[in-house]
Structure 1
Amino acid sequence: MRKVEEIGNVEKSYEVLDMVGDGGQGDLFLARDRRSGERVALKLQKARDLGPESIFRWAGEELLREGSRMTLLTGIQAIPEIIATGTHRGRRCLIMEFVEGRQLQDVLLAARPVRHPEIVASVIGQLCEILWEVHAQNLVHCDLKPENVIVQPDGRLSLIDMGLAVTAGKATSDSRGTRGWASPEQSDACPSGLTQRADIFGLGCMLLEMTVMRLPYGGLEELAEPGGPVLPAEKLAALPPEFASLALSMVRRKAEERPADVREVFDQLRPYLPRLGSRRPPKRLRPDPTEYYRTHEPRL
């Protein structure tokens, strides 16, 4: 495990290169270690706007808290490792392991709808394996969406952005997550605390988005009225029969009605995973997430 060091002036140690992402909690840059030449990712606090200095300081501290949460996950291969924290031109930042690959959202945009059972099972199955380890640390990611998943060239998935993660069961004082993928219990304060079933809702949203190109309950539009349909009738009819029951159970409004944990989800995906040594699907994603299970035994 690398020791997380504190760097007063990041520019002395790292050359900041291209901006590669723009998130709610910070901007993501590609950077280079000036000593080793190694590429790293630099997550930089948003520039100060017209708001008070206290809010800007709080945002910097919140970014460092994200780094602390990520250090709890050191050793999980699919979570980028924190290398250092520091300050870059007055803004707090995290220096992280750079993950080569493409965002899942970009991979899917070129191929949706994705209905091949092996592809669907490989994407959701890999995320179940990752989340099993995250949840074992008593954390809830809270922001599962294709934008926060990287597909590496060999088909392995990485999960990024722990900025909204919370301790399971600990009361939350405000909404957390991204509209469309966030569970109903994330839409406001949750005095009883969020559970891993909030992440299962996000996974279910991703499954629906892949297969029928629609998020549940109105998705990115205004919050749907309670009692409204999960999907329009034509989208429900288009759900692949292999995953229809599972997907709908994952996005139930009441957390206690969803699968108990990601292992339960994975067990329902297991029959559709590619077998070791099997051939690639005829219309595969690029990079191809099925490659992982064609070359590795499942870990759940």
Structure 2
Amino acid sequence: MRFFECDSTNNILVDGTFRRNISCWQVGQTIGSGSVGTVYEAITNEGFFFAAKEVSLLDEVQSIHQLEQEIAFLREFEHENIVQYIGTDRHEGKLFIFLELVTQGSVVKVYQKYHLGDSQVSSYTRQILNGLKYLHDRNVVHRDIKCANILVHTSGSVKLADFGLAKTKLNEVKSCKGTAFWMAPEVVNRKMHGYGLAADIWSLGCTVLEMLTRQIPYSPLEWMQALFKIGQGIPPPIPDSLSIDARDFIHQCLQVNPENRPTAAQLLKHSFICAEATASFISPRNSFAS
């Protein structure tokens, strides 16, 4: 067990009503890892639990830049479906980012323990879309949407996490960033002229497919084989065993031409997301509102 005293006080907003201060804290068990660094459970001297993401400041410049970018984004975000930033601390060449502790960990851990049906996946997807809409309304592309970067509370509340690859879409993004199996064709294909918010929608389709099948998209291909298929505009196969609404939702997200993909706001009106009463009035072939 490691014990720390903060170089400066970090204020924690609890339930939006009062603040606690982190002056001393302990690192507990490892709970995950992100695109940069390892995440631990931690506890303050007052017994308040939070997540501490540890990153070496001796890493390559690119990793440090990615970390600074993640902190800058998280400081600006305030949304129920985005993990809450608390503060930072430094110790012996390590930087710790303090985040709210999301108790059940990633969706990967959840679907490894439980078989998720349409009702659960629909609820999770609705919350992911709310988080994406918040980002996209601010012209921010997450660029790494996948189950490993989506966290779940015991209450069923879902949070988007790991913003190390996020980018503000002031201009079309051109760098090939993300995780291979969830990348959109326009991200992989260098012949295209950059990409934008729609890349997250493709990744969302792959993520919904992952939740329902409990397998990563393009399984069991190696990542280079998957990239080749993605670059050719070949989406991952969608099993016929999935429901009509689920298949249609995924199909809408996995349009090869990014201009043909619905926005996060449009997908919130899809029959897979809406209540059953609403779904009965929507045709599967035209199941999002423009």
User: TM-score normalised by the shorter chain: which range applies?
Assistant: 0.7 to 0.9
Helix, strand or coil at the partner of 1:144: coil
The code of the aligned residue for 2:133 comes to W
- Please give the per-residue CA displacement for 1:170-190, whole angstroms capped at 9, x wherever unaligned: 354532111111212333779
Give the distance between the partners of 2:103 and 2:276, measured in 1 at CA.
Answer: 24
Give the distance between the partners of 1:191 and 1:44, measured in 2 at CA.
Answer: 36
Change in Cα spacing, 1:160 to 1:12, as seen in structure 2 (3 Å) is same
2:148 aligned residue: 147
Change in Cα spacing, 1:82 to 1:265, as seen in structure 2 (3 Å) is same
Q: Which has the higher contact order (CA 8 A, sep 6+)?
A: 1
2:66 aligned residue: 62
The code of the aligned residue for 1:77 comes to E
Which of 33, 54, 58 lines up with 1:22 in the alignment? 33
On the 8 A contact 1:16/1:29 being kept in 2, the answer is yes
Helix, strand or coil at the partner of 1:162: coil
Give the distance between the partners of 2:99 and 2:135, measured in 1 at CA.
Answer: 18
Which of 40, 45, 50 lines up with 2:50 in the alignment? 40
Root-mean-square deviation over aligned CA pairs? 3.1
2:267 aligned residue: 265
Give the distance between the partners of 1:188 and 1:47, measured in 2 at CA.
Answer: 33
Q: Does 1:92 align with 2:95?
A: yes
| TM-superposed deviation, 1:228 | 6.6
Change in Cα spacing, 1:157 to 1:98, as seen in structure 2 (3 Å) is same
Change in Cα spacing, 1:256 to 1:214, as seen in structure 2 (3 Å) is farther
Change in Cα spacing, 1:205 to 1:59, as seen in structure 2 (3 Å) is same
Change in Cα spacing, 1:229 to 1:140, as seen in structure 2 (3 Å) is closer
1:283 aligned residue: none
1:130 aligned residue: 131
Aligned residues: 257
Q: TM-score, normalised by structure 2?
A: 0.76
On the 8 A contact 1:122/1:274 being kept in 2, the answer is no
Query: Map of 1:91-240 to 2, 5 A cutoff?
Result: 91-112=94-115, 114=116, 116-172=117-173, 174-187=175-188, 193-216=194-217, 221=223, 222=225, 223-225=227-229, 227=232, 229-232=234-237, 235-240=238-243
- Please give the per-residue CA displacement for 1:128-158, whole angstroms capped at 9, x wherever unaligned: 1121112222211111111111121111111
On the 8 A contact 1:70/1:81 being kept in 2, the answer is yes
Which of 60, 70, 82 lines up with 1:79 in the alignment? 82
Q: TM-score, normalised by structure 1?
A: 0.74
Helix, strand or coil at the partner of 1:25: coil
Change in Cα spacing, 1:177 to 1:33, as seen in structure 2 (3 Å) is same
Change in Cα spacing, 1:7 to 1:99, as seen in structure 2 (3 Å) is farther
* Uncovered stretches (5+) of structure 1, i.e. residues with no partner: 1-5, 49-54, 276-300
Give the distance between the partners of 1:171 and 1:202, measured in 2 at CA.
Answer: 17
* Uncovered stretches (5+) of structure 2, i.e. residues with no partner: 1-5, 11-21, 278-290
Higher strand share: 2
On the 8 A contact 2:174/2:195 being kept in 1, the answer is no
On the 8 A contact 1:72/1:137 being kept in 2, the answer is no
The code of the aligned residue for 2:268 comes to F
| TM-superposed deviation, 1:213 | 4.4
